[in-house]
């Protein structure tokens, strides 16, 4: 049987990693109903140029959290140039929303070494 080397194979693996990661983030956001019955955060997927975003609801003192998922089925390391691109994408998302960098949290979820 030939070895799978098609880009679709790698793309679906990355999609599943992002899908499962977003599910875990959703469970993290929803840790049971708050005492007043109102959620303090919401999870949005594929927003603001990121894979997922956790936004606080009005009146919350929490920071928005931008999440980016990176997966490699071959264990390819994240090169410094790729890490720079990821960080620049985070900054671009913050600037596009008119926020201060200090007021936003960033999260890179990956199975890849640096």
Q: Where are the domains of the chain?
A: 7-110
pLDDT beyond 90 at 109: yes
- From the centroid of its chain, how far is CA 13? 16
- Give the model's confidence band at 34: pLDDT under 50 very low, under 70 low, under 90 confident, else very high: low
- Give the model's confidence band at 4: pLDDT under 50 very low, under 70 low, under 90 confident, else very high: low
Q: What does pLDDT average to over the chain?
A: 87
pLDDT beyond 70 at 33: no
Distance between CA 12 and CA 3 in Å, rounded?
16
pTM of the model: 0.84
């Amino acid at each position: 049987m030939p070895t799978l080397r098609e880009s679709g194979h790698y793309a679906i693996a990355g999609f599943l990693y992002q899908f499962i990661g977003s599910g875990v983030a959703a469970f993290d956001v929803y840790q049971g109903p708050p005492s007043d019955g109102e959620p303090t955060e919401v999870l949005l997927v594929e927003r603001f140029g990121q894979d997922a975003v956790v936004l606080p609801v009005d009146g919350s003192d929490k920071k928005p959290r931008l999440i980016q998922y990176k997966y490699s089925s071959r264990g390819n390391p994240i090169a410094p140039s790729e890490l720079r691109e990821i960080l620049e994408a985070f900054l671009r998302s913050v600037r596009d929303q008119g926020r201060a960098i200090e007021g936003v949290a960033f999260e890179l979820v990956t199975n890849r070494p640096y």
